[in-house]
Every structure is written in C-alpha cells, then in structure tokens.
Amino acid sequence: MLTSLKHCCAPIPQRWIFAFMSFLALVMAYGMRVSISITITEMVKHIEKNVTIDEETCPKDESSAPKNTTGTGAGTYDWDEETQGIILSSFYWGYVITQLPGALLAEKFGGKQTLGLGMLCTAILTIAIPFAVTWGESTALIVLRVLMGLGEGVTLPALNVMLAQWVPPDERSKTGSFVYVGAPLGTVFATAISGVILKYTSWPIVFYFFGGIGIVWYFIWLVTCYNTPREHPFISDKEATFLHQELSAVAHVNPPPVPWRHLLKSMPLWALISVQIGHDWGFYTISTELPKYMSSVLHYSVDQNGYLSSLPYIGMWLCCTFMSWLADWLISKGHMAITTVRKVGTTIASVGPGLFVIAASYVGCDRTLVVVMFTLGVTLLGSGIPSLKVNALDLSPNYAGTVMAISNGAAACTGIITPYLTGVLTPDQTLSQWRVVFWIIFVVLMVSNVFYLIFASGKVADWNDPILMKRNKAEQKRAQEAAAFEASRKATEVY
C-alpha cells in the first residue's frame, strides 16, 4: 500500500501538504478559541444601563435588528462585564502553561502527535462546553476554557519544530506566513460562521460545529503528516534529497540540550519577545473584544456582527500573504538583509494598526467609518506575521520550538490580561471607556516595536549549535594565547 501511495503522491511535494494541514490546524485552533467571543454576546442577558451623557453612547439602528431569527440576543446568563472578561481570558491561563512543555516534547519526540493530541483534546472540550455551562454556568465554563488552553498551548511550538524540519530557508517567509495566517483566517471563520449559526439556531450548535471539525482534522492529520521528511512513507526521493541538502546544515536530527544560559542572554530573542507581546496585545484585544464593541457600542445585530467582525481578518490574511512573498523576494534577490526585512515588517504592523485603532475611537458613532478603520488597522497587523512568527526560525532552526514557546508564551499572557482589563475599563460600554482601551493598544505597539528595532536580528544565533559554539570559542582562545605568546616572544627579543 505504501508503494502505491508513494507512486500516487510523488508528484505532490509533501512539504506543501504539511503546510496546508498546518494552516488548517491554526484555522481549527483559532476557530475553537475565538468562537466564544461572539457567542457570549448571545449567551448573556443584555442589560440596558442608564448613561447620563448622550455623547457617550451610540443610538440603536432599528433597521439592523434581527427579524424572524432564532438568535434574539435575549441571553440566559447574568454575567457582568468583569465575569465575561474572566471567561474570555481563562483560555490563556492554560495556554501559557503548556507552551514550553509542548516545545520540549515536540523537540524530543516529534511535533506530529504533540500537536495532534493537543488539538484533539481541545476539540473534545469544545463540544463539552454547552453541557458544562448548563451544569455549572460561568465557573464550569472558566474551568473548561483553562483546560482547552492547556491542550492548545502546544500548537505553535510543535508547528515550529516541524517547520524547521520541513521548510528550506529560502521558502521560510512564504511557507511560514501561509501557515501562520491560519490564525486570522480562523478568526474570520469563527466570527462569520458563528454569526450565521447564532442567527438561525442556538449558541450550543456553535461549539458542536467547531469541536466536530477539529476532530475530523485530527484523523486526516494522522494519515498525511509526519515529523520529518525521513519518516514520511510516501515522500519522493527527489524531495527528500532536496530537503536534506537544504536543511542539514542548520537543523539537526538530534540537537544537543537547549543552551538555556546563552539563550536567555540573547538580546535578539528578547527583542522577538517584545514585539510579539505588542503584536499579540493588539491582536488578542481586537479578536476577543471587537464583537462585543460591535454589539454593545455600535449595536449591530448578531449576523451583521459576525460578518463585520470577520472582515478585518480577511484584510490581515491578504496583507500577510503579500508581505510574505515580498519578504522572500527581497531576501532571495539580495535587495534587503533578513534583519532589515523583519524590522520593516514589524514596524508597519505596529505603527499602522496603532494609528487606525486610535482613529476608530475618535470617529464616534459613524458605524461605517469605524468598520473601515478597524479593517485597515487589523489588515496592517498582517505584515508582522512574516517577521515575528518566522524570526524564531531565523534565530534557531535547532531550537525553533523552544524559541517559539518562550516568545509566544510570554505574548500569550496578553490574552490573560487584555479581556479582563477591557472588562474592568468598560463597565458601561461607553465611547470614552473604550477609547482608553485603544490608547493602551497604541502605546504597547509603539514601545515594543522600538525595542525590536534596536536589538532584533535575522541571523542564526551562535547558540543554535552549542557544539560548534564551544569549538569556535576554543579556537578563539587558542588564537589569543598564540598571539599573546608571539607578542611576548618579540618583546623578549627586543630586550
């Protein structure tokens, strides 16, 4: 059977199949993660609050009210803004914890099962959400979201380990960006589909749908993807030889233990952590809170909310795709160094979104203009993906999973902070309260990017190969001792 599969599948580069399945992994992961952001607007009771300042609230557009739909917006649960913030952030409590263990497991045993089993657990827990909420309301939902985070926390580290084994350096920006753009497209998928489901059915169906397709993805993944080209049973000999030649110099089969001391002293790594914190602060705040802003402040109906909340992420996907191809072209043609390309990408992804998000907060209740501003801002966030997500592979192909776990784990803490902080800062859902949230996004984006501009690098770090690093240091020491001896000998001859 394997022989027939190899003959059948040989014309298709298996690294493309891996990239496509990895892309779908992030679509599924973010679909399961983000679907609650819009679903929660239909789960909770909508309480009208008396706000004395008319300029602080937007009038309702009665023409956008849902007609003849199941999703009425009446809600069932009395969860205040702070409780909703805790529910939205609880996923990241578990997500942060399994980043580094996931990376170490993937580096030791391979990313296939590390990623696959994590996704399977998350899918099963997603299906269990309606039962948990019926049984234990917000407390049960928070616990389940923490467990979902534990399962999904291994996703990006395991993917990075496999990318280091499957993607040649000159395809890194393009392939890495194609994979990682699954995150914004998963958000598009989640918000748009959730809006449709909520309009015509009930909120439990949202979780059954996303959990179900996650399980289907897992079984396809088992058949089609493998840890390395060497393990793949039906990869062509030509592609296997090509990948070995391209990757053997920088990606080892069994690299030495992680050089923690050198890694944690690396300023380029800290620069990557900084810019990823800034990027994810903006992304997580908008992806989790934009549906609530569209519903509570701009008063969009549930189906409009789903479509319009997903629109910015379509722009993000298009921007990421264009910037990844541009980055690979600039690097392969020698027009820009890798470091310069990475810095340009993150700067566009910081300055542009920061300015547009602030502008959105000052146009008031002009609903069309607000949507345009958010769409442009989130679109430009996409230019950072070919830089900050791929930079971990630049710095260390051997320890790509560990580097991703450290940077993504630190950045994921923003997913804990931002929903809760937004809930605390916007108890009355007024324009001025939300403006504070958007100014915080702007400041975090600017400060983190400045640090990245100063210290970032696109070169392979010395600590990527600890054995070679020790050998080079020993040679440098011998050269210095020889030079000192020669200088001492010449000085003795003079006297």
**pLDDT tens per residue across span 108-120:** 888 899 999 999 9
Residue 53 predicted with pLDDT over 60: no
Residue the block writes with tokens 């009210």 = 65
Q: Domain residues of the chain, as ranges? A: 10-46+76-233+260-464, 467-494
Distance CA 376, CA 387 (A): 19
**pLDDT range class, residue 9, cuts 50, 70, 90:** low
User: Phi and psi dihedrals of 75, rounded to 5?
Assistant: 75, 165
Q: Is 44 helix (H, G, I), strand (E, B) or coil?
A: strand
Answer positive or negative: Cα dihedral of 10, 12, 16, 22.
Answer: negative
pLDDT at 69: 42
Helix (H) or strand (E) holding 431: helix 431-455
Nearest Cα to Cα of residue 151 among 125, 169, 132 = 125
Spatial CB neighbours of 493, under 8 Å, sequence gap ≥ 6: none
Distance CA 368, CA 374 (A): 10
**pLDDT range class, residue 1, cuts 50, 70, 90:** very low
pLDDT at 331: 84
Distance CA 358, CA 442 (A): 7
Task: Identify any residues that bridge with 44 across adjacent strands, giving them in sequence order.
Answer: 77
What's the rounded mean pLDDT across residues 39-54?
Answer: 66
CATH of 10-46+76-233+260-464, one of 1.10.3720.10, 1.20.1250.20, 3.40.50.300, 2.60.120.260: 1.20.1250.20
What's the rounded mean pLDDT across residues 79-83?
Answer: 80
**Residues 220-267 pLDDT 10s:** 999 999 888 888 888 888 888 888 777 765 555 566 777 888 888 889
pLDDT at 72: 44
Mean pLDDT of the chain: 81
**Residues 378-409 pLDDT 10s:** 889 888 888 887 788 788 877 877 888 888 88
**Residues 318-369 pLDDT 10s:** 888 888 888 888 888 888 888 998 999 999 999 999 999 888 888 877 878 8
CA atoms within 13 A on the CB side of 438: 24
Amino acid at 477: K
Amino acid at 441: I
Residue 290 predicted with pLDDT over 60: yes
pTM of the predicted protein model? 0.73
CA atoms within 13 A on the CB side of 271: 23
Residue the block writes with tokens 């990318």 = 163
Q: What burial class does residue 480 get, using C-beta atoms within 10 Å of its C-beta: 0-12 exposed, 13-18 middle, 19+ buried?
A: exposed
Higher pLDDT pick, 470 / 174: 174
